[in-house]
């Protein structure tokens, strides 16, 4: 009986911990806002990628469906894509001469 009680307590504590680790709408809003800032910077530099826009759209759809873990992962991916497009533009701006034949 004592063993069963211990297992029951361990299960409840473990379940509570995993539920506490689930992402919330607030977590998504923070991740999405960061991705939007990076995307707006990319648009301003005229270096935005279409993959970033579609990933942001997918993140919003996942959040609307209540899948906040997936939505946060997609928002973080969109932020990474926006930052990569910015980095690519800066790199090309600095090194375009290396590709010119002399």
pLDDT digits (tens, 9 = 90+) for 9-38: 444 444 444 444 678 999 999 999 999 999
Residue 3 has pLDDT above 60, yes or no: no
Question: In this structure, are residues 55 and 70 in contact, taking their beta carbons and an 8 Å threshold?
Answer: no
Instruction: Dump pLDDT digits (tens) for 49-97.
Output: 999 999 999 999 999 999 999 999 999 999 999 999 999 999 998 888 8
Question: In this structure, are residues 49 and 93 in contact, taking their beta carbons and an 8 Å threshold?
Answer: no
Mean pLDDT of 40-50: 96
68-95 helix and 50-64 helix, angle to the nearest 10 degrees? 170
């Amino acid at each position: 009986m004592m063993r069963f009680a211990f297992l029951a307590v361990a299960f409840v504590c473990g379940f509570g911990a995993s539920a506490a680790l689930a992402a919330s709408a607030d977590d998504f809003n923070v991740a999405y806002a960061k991705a939007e800032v990076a995307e707006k910077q990319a648009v301003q530099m005229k270096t935005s990628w279409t993959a970033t826009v579609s990933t942001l759209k997918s993140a919003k759809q996942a959040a609307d469906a209540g899948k906040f873990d997936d939505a946060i992962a997609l928002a973080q991916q969109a932020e990474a894509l926006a930052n990569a497009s910015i980095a690519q533009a800066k790199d090309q701006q600095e090194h375009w001469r290396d590709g010119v034949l002399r």
